[in-house]
C-alpha cells in the first residue's frame, strides 16, 4: 500500500513562495535599518554617546567617587556602560518606537512578511548593535583615561549589559506602545535623568540620599549599575542583580505584549 504524497515544505531558511526572504534575513535587514537610523539621528547620537562620555569625564575629574576604590575611572566606567544601555534601549528605542507608531510605520510593518515578532526582534538586534558601538567608543576613551578593568569581568559584564538592554528595551516598548508619542518623549527623558542621577546606575547606592538608597536595589538601573561594577571591579557575577533584571524583563515584556498598541 502506497502512502499519500506529502507536500514539500520549505526549510526555515528557504525563501517563501511569495518571494519574501527567509525570516532570519528579514530580521537582520530590519535590525540594520533600525541601527543605522539610530546612529544617523543627531539627538540619538548625543544621548547614546556624547552625554555618557561627558559623564565619564566629569566623574573622572571630580571627587564624587573618591573613597570607593583606588581609581575614579575604574569606578566610573561600569556605570557609564550601564547608562549607555539605558540610553539606547529605553530612551532612544522608546522615542523612536513611539513616533513610528504615530506615523503608522508600526502598523504597516506588522502586516508585511516581517511580522510583529520579526519587527520586535529587529529592534532588539538594533539595540545590541548600537550598544556594541557604545562599548567600543566608551572603552577606548576610558582606556586613554587609565581604565584597567578586571580581565575576568568582561564575560559577566557583557552578559549583564545584554540582560540590562533586554530589560530596558521591554520597558521602552511598554511605554511607547501604551501612551502618546509626546508622553513617551517626556516620560523616557524624565526617567533617564532621574534614574541616571538617583537610580544607582552611575553613582553607587552608598553615595545616594537615604531615600533613594532604599529603593535603587530593586530598580533595573540600580541592579545593572551594581552588576557592572561587580563584574569589572571584582570579576564576579552579581546574582541578586541578575534576578532583579530578569524580573523586570519578564514583567515589562509580558505587559508590552498584553497592552502594546500598534496604531
Domain boundaries, the chain: 23-259
From residue 42, alpha-carbon distances to 93, 140, 173 in Å are 14, 21, 21
Over residues 224-240, the mean pLDDT reads: 95
pLDDT tens digits for range 204-220: 988 888 767 778 999 99
Question: Residue written as cell 508622553?
Answer: 183
Q: Is the pLDDT of residue 184 over 70?
A: yes
Environment class of residue 59 by beta-carbon count within 10 Å: exposed (0-12), middle (13-18) or buried (19+)? buried
pLDDT for residue 2: 44
Environment class of residue 114 by beta-carbon count within 10 Å: exposed (0-12), middle (13-18) or buried (19+)? buried
Query: For residues 168 and 221, is the Cβ–Cβ distance under 8 A?
Result: no
Single pTM value for the model = 0.88
Amino acid at each position: 500500500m502506497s502512502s499519500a504524497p506529502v507536500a514539500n515544505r520549505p526549510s526555515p531558511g528557504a525563501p517563501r513562495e511569495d518571494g519574501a526572504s527567509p525570516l532570519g534575513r528579514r530580521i537582520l535587514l530590519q535590525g540594520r535599518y533600525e541601527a543605522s537610523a539610530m546612529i544617523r539621528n543627531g539627538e540619538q547620537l548625543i544621548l547614546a554617546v556624547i552625554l555618557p562620555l561627558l559623564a565619564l569625564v566629569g566623574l573622572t575629574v571630580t571627587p564624587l567617587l573618591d573613597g570607593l576604590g583606588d581609581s575614579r575611572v575604574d569606578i566610573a566606567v561600569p556605570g557609564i556602560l550601564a547608562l549607555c544601555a539605558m540610553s539606547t534601549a529605553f530612551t532612544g528605542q522608546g522615542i523612536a518606537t513611539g513616533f513610528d507608531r504615530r506615523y503608522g510605520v508600526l502598523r504597516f510593518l506588522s502586516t508585511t512578511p516581517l511580522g510583529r515578532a520579526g519587527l520586535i526582534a529587529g529592534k532588539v538586534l538594533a539595540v545590541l548593535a548600537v550598544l556594541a558601538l557604545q562599548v567600543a567608543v566608551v572603552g577606548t576613551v576610558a582606556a586613554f583615561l587609565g581604565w584597567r578593568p578586571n580581565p575576568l569581568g568582561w564575560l559577566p559584564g557583557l552578559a549583564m549589559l545584554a540582560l540590562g538592554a533586554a530589560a530596558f528595551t521591554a520597558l521602552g516598548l511598554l511605554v511607547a506602545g501604551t501612551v502618546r508619542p509626546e508622553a513617551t518623549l517626556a516620560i523616557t527623558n524624565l526617567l533617564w535623568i532621574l534614574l541616571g542621577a538617583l537610580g544607582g546606575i552611575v553613582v553607587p547606592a552608598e553615595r545616594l540620599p537615604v531615600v533613594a538608597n532604599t529603593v535603587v536595589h530593586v530598580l533595573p538601573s540600580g541592579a545593572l549599575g551594581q552588576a557592572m561594577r561587580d563584574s569589572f571591579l571584582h570579576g564576579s557575577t552579581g546574582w541578586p542583580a541578575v534576578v532583579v533584571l530578569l524580573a523586570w524583563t519578564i514583567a515589562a515584556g509580558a505587559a508590552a505584549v498584553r497592552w502594546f498598541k500598534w496604531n
